[in-house]
Amino acid sequence: MTKSKGQPTSSSALRGEPLRQRVIDAAERLLRQGKAEFSMRDLAMEAGVSFATPFNQFGSKAAIMHAVAGRRVDAMEKRYRDAAHAGDAVDRVLLAARLAAEVMLEEAVVNRSVMGWLGTAGPVAGEARSRSKALWSLALANGDGLAPEARDQALQSLPGQLAFGFRGVLSFWTAGEVADADLVASARDVIRSIVRGLVDANRRSEFSS
């Protein structure tokens, strides 16, 4: 017999990662309904699991929201890997900025709620910064298009700088100070500003304005 939503699932029926994903799915559904202030009891009922399950699997609501954020980074990375990568590292990071911003806009209500939680400490440190750095490192690849004399250092420092810059834009967007219609352009402008001083000489005229 199929269990309906809200009916607890036996712990022996669903374990490990499938159980974690079920809880994350339920959190996303609540966020889509505008219920950002959901309780862990609300979450357990939505997921159809016991009250203790979200705590046992994640430890806190903050950790669950970090897991939802992790899904967004996964989507950004997949979108980037699936895209055509014409041009050099500079073009690729600008492409990554556009695609990442578009992912955030696709479920703006959910993602604004998630962003509001990323500054909340959970029982363990979140992975938002490291995951974001990994995305920018992927886009930078070997740094083609960056000034040769600065390339090695740039490949070490740029992923972190780009992560900070993109997160800053998202923070203002979350607060309503950057409109949905302006998010992609704002993200790309910040990325351009960060890489401007590191581009190869033959591209610097593009960044003069």
* Alpha-carbon gap, residue 48 to 100, rounded angstroms: 32
- 7-21, 55-69, 144-158, 194-208: least confident range: 7-21
pLDDT digits (tens, 9 = 90+) for 148-187: 999 999 999 999 999 999 999 999 999 999 999 999 999 9
pLDDT digits (tens, 9 = 90+) for 63-114: 899 999 999 999 999 999 999 888 999 999 999 999 999 999 999 999 999 9
Q: How confident is the model at residue 128 (pLDDT cuts 50, 70, 90)?
A: confident
Residues 156, 158, 163, 164: what is their CA dihedral angle, to the nearest 10 degrees?
110
Is it the case that residue 2 has pLDDT exceeding 50?
A: no
- Could you tell me if 14 and 57 are in contact, meaning their C-beta atoms sit under 8 angstroms apart? no
Is it the case that residue 10 has pLDDT exceeding 60?
A: no
Average pLDDT over residues 42-66: 93
- Could you tell me if 100 and 166 are in contact, meaning their C-beta atoms sit under 8 angstroms apart? yes
Q: How confident is the model at residue 3 (pLDDT cuts 50, 70, 90)?
A: very low
| Structure confidence at residue 204 (pLDDT) | 74
- Name the H helices within the chain: 16-32, 40-47, 53-58, 61-82, 89-106, 108-117, 128-140, 151-174, 180-195
Is it the case that residue 14 has pLDDT exceeding 60?
A: no
* Alpha-carbon gap, residue 152 to 159, rounded angstroms: 12
